[in-house]
Structure 1
Amino acid sequence: MQIEIPVLSFISAVLVLFPLPCYFRAGNIAAMSIGMWLFVVNMIDAIDALQWTGAYQIPFLFWCDITSALMTAINVAIPAACLCICIHLERMASFCQMSTSVTKRRRILLECLMCFGVPLVYAALHLIVQPRRFDVYENFGCRSAIYPTMVALFVVWIPPLALSLLTIIFFFAGITWRHFLLHGVQCSRTRASSSLTSGAYIRLVSMAVSEVICTITATVVAMTFNLSSGLAPWADFTRDLTKVLSFSSAATPKSITAMLITEWAMVVAQSFLFIGLFVLGVEGRSRLHEALQAMRRALTFCERRSTSIAELKGTSMIAWYVPWYH
């Protein structure tokens, strides 16, 4: 996995940037935040995999403090954003009316708080069950430490599961589909000026559901491996935020390695689902085509420039050599 992790993470980080301008123009803060969080975490995975390939020392304490907190925050950032998407789509399908500027500002404020404020609060609450500063794993990098107690269930694992299940099963996903089936055709006819077509509506709902399925998978796997030895008593909990543990690949239990690989694989899967469902739309395909054309023009320009520089160097060498030869 020394090659696959950085390569796939870098590719995923680049791909998730393509839909962001479209979501920004549409004012879809929730969908845009998913791309931003996936970009950040993919870059962290790629850099950590390169930095700690065959090593488990701790060269950058400040880097590990930031990255471990961000890796923790994404656990609720993705399901919170998906919940916001389903709420917004349900309101559009049920009311079928143009939103006012005040309503739009309130929605944007709510989505900003849910997609960025809640994850930061969640990362801060993680300190309640954090016994040490962080852990470092060879080939994977820094991760937050968790004390496996009953308190960790409610602080670390239940919030992402609750948000994910709320999006998928309990309330908003079902209502979103029901309102769309009842009013979707009427909405698409009465809101001809709206950029949200029926196809875009279905793609956004599908993205929200698929993203939270990946979140549920990663959370259940992490919870299973962390609690495999049972719940520890809270009375034995001690906190030393100056302590850091490092694990070589040989010393890392296979269960922990499997958990780290699963978490990384879920982030890559979420990234490809995010870009894949966007490319299914007409605007997504056109933007991807424009990006590929821009990359082709850039490569052609670089190739021509390098050829002209090589020819210029050859000409100058001949011009310098011929007078001395005569």
Structure 2
Amino acid sequence: MATPPDWLFSAFSFSAFILASLPLFWQIKASGNVGACSLAIWSAVGYLNSFINSIIWRNNTVNWAPVWCDISSRVYLGMNVAISASSLCINRRLYRVSQVTSVQTTQTRRADIEDLCMTVGIPLLHMALYIIYQGHRFDIYEDIGCFPEFPVTPVSIVLRDIWPVIISIIAAAYGCGAFVRLARLKYETSKFLSANSHLTRSFYWRLMALAGTELLIGTPLSIFIMVWDIRNGGFGVQPYSWSRVHSNFSRVVQYPASYWKIKAPELEISRWDDVLSALIFFAFFGFSEDAQKNYRRFWNFLLAKCTILQTRKKSVQNSTPPLQIHPTAPIKPTSQEGSIEFPAQPPSSSFGSRDIEYVPRGGPADHC
């Protein structure tokens, strides 16, 4: 299976991290939507993690940083379910907004706490349960980096593979419900949107499109990965036993690119799917009116800073007088030892009509 060069993925993954981070600052401030903010944060963390791994393990499988691999492999597991959970929160919030009778409760503290429990609590729980079906410490794939390892057992299917599928199906149900509700109550759209101070018509439809696109891509991919793990998971689905699964737990298995690109092509598909998700997120929110205003504001801020620095530099250069010392100016010693007193008035010049500038007490150094 032909795959793109690894340097291309490194460039795209870093670009994905930037693109996911750019709209995040004003999303947190303006939208008040926990699901959209969590989607941006989890995506940015995942892309940064992939970028670092692709740089460190380019063309090698050396176990350079075992502690980093312990963290990185769990970040991958958390992101595996966090994207689906964020889409669920977005669709759930949109469905509640479409219910005109309950629109006043969509921005309550309770709703935000529920969204945080789904977008943060579920991924953290998913990472914590990994120890139950974890076969050994981690794997290292050339050009990919650290990756979680687990034998395919009924427990791993339930605790790892099914979660994203179930969450995506629930999110799809909420999304379809919100869309049908809006189609029936199109004439009342402005009414319930105006009751939501953080939600404009444009932002609402952007959220709908984002969540729908994520589900169209994420749900089939989750099903594909689950089926692939079951059918091609080494020795197939094995019976679960704690002692059997965790035997020789501290070992690290290293796979060259020539092996995994043939035996596990879903790894390449999965990591490029994350980059595609970042491009989709930026396409929906990176070109909005609010985004363009923030781009212009940041550009004007940089121009203002550059103008101020240039003005200060010119001001300092113009305010520094030339150093001129009168050749015949007498210097009178004072009663204090070691001190020098300058004349109160500069003496008349014997060099024609040329003006001679008086240097005040303290000398040129103090004046500058």
SS at match of 2:237: coil
Match of 1:234 among 211, 223, 240: 240
Q: Which amino acid aligns with 2:58?
A: T
Residues 190, 30 of structure 1: alpha-carbon distance in 2 compared, 3 angstrom cutoff: closer
Quick one: distance in 2 between partners of 1:128 and 1:8? 34
Quick one: distance in 2 between partners of 1:165 and 1:189? 29
Quick one: distance in 2 between partners of 1:216 and 1:295? 42
Residues 224, 294 of structure 1: alpha-carbon distance in 2 compared, 3 angstrom cutoff: farther
Comparing 40-49 with 279-288, greater Cα deviation is found at 279-288
The equivalent residue for 2:337 is: none
SS at match of 2:251: strand
* Shift of residue 96, structure 1, vs aligned partner: 5.5
CA contact (8 A) 1:73 1:123 kept: yes
TM-score, normalisation: structure 2: 0.74
TM-score, normalisation: structure 1: 0.83
The equivalent residue for 1:214 is: 217
Match of 1:125 among 126, 129, 133: 129
Which structure 1 segments of 5+ residues have no match?
313-326
Quick one: distance in 2 between partners of 1:234 and 1:189? 55
Match of 1:79 among 84, 91, 112: 84
The equivalent residue for 2:263 is: 255
Comparing 80-89 with 229-238, greater Cα deviation is found at 229-238
* Shift of residue 238, structure 1, vs aligned partner: 2.4
Quick one: distance in 2 between partners of 1:290 and 1:224? 48
2:94 is aligned with 1:89 = yes
The equivalent residue for 2:362 is: none
Q: Which amino acid aligns with 1:80?
A: A
Q: After superposition, give the CA deviation of every residue in 1:97-144 in whole Å (9 maximum; x if it has no partner).
A: 65369x611011111110011101011112222110110011110000
Aligned residues: 300
Q: After superposition, give the CA deviation of every residue in 1:199-251 in whole Å (9 maximum; x if it has no partner).
A: 22121011112123332243234324323343223259421431111112234
* Shift of residue 39, structure 1, vs aligned partner: 0.6
2:180 is aligned with 1:173 = no
2:166 is aligned with 1:162 = yes
Q: Which amino acid aligns with 2:63?
A: I
2:45 is aligned with 1:43 = no
The equivalent residue for 2:271 is: 264
Quick one: distance in 2 between partners of 1:294 and 1:10? 26
Which structure 2 segments of 5+ residues have no match?
318-368
Match of 1:200 among 200, 203, 224: 203
Identity of aligned residues (%): 23
Quick one: distance in 2 between partners of 1:58 and 1:90? 47
CA contact (8 A) 2:32 2:198 kept: no
Q: Which amino acid aligns with 2:237?
A: L
What pairs up with 1:65-76 in 2 under 5 angstroms? 65-76=70-81
2:293 is aligned with 1:286 = yes
Quick one: distance in 1 between partners of 2:45 and 2:300? 24
CA contact (8 A) 2:53 2:145 kept: yes
Give the CA RMSD over aligned residues: 2.7
Q: Which amino acid aligns with 1:17?
A: S
Quick one: distance in 1 between partners of 2:297 and 2:222? 37
Q: Which amino acid aligns with 2:250?
A: T
CA contact (8 A) 1:149 1:231 kept: yes
Quick one: distance in 2 between partners of 1:189 and 1:99? 12
* Shift of residue 74, structure 1, vs aligned partner: 1.0
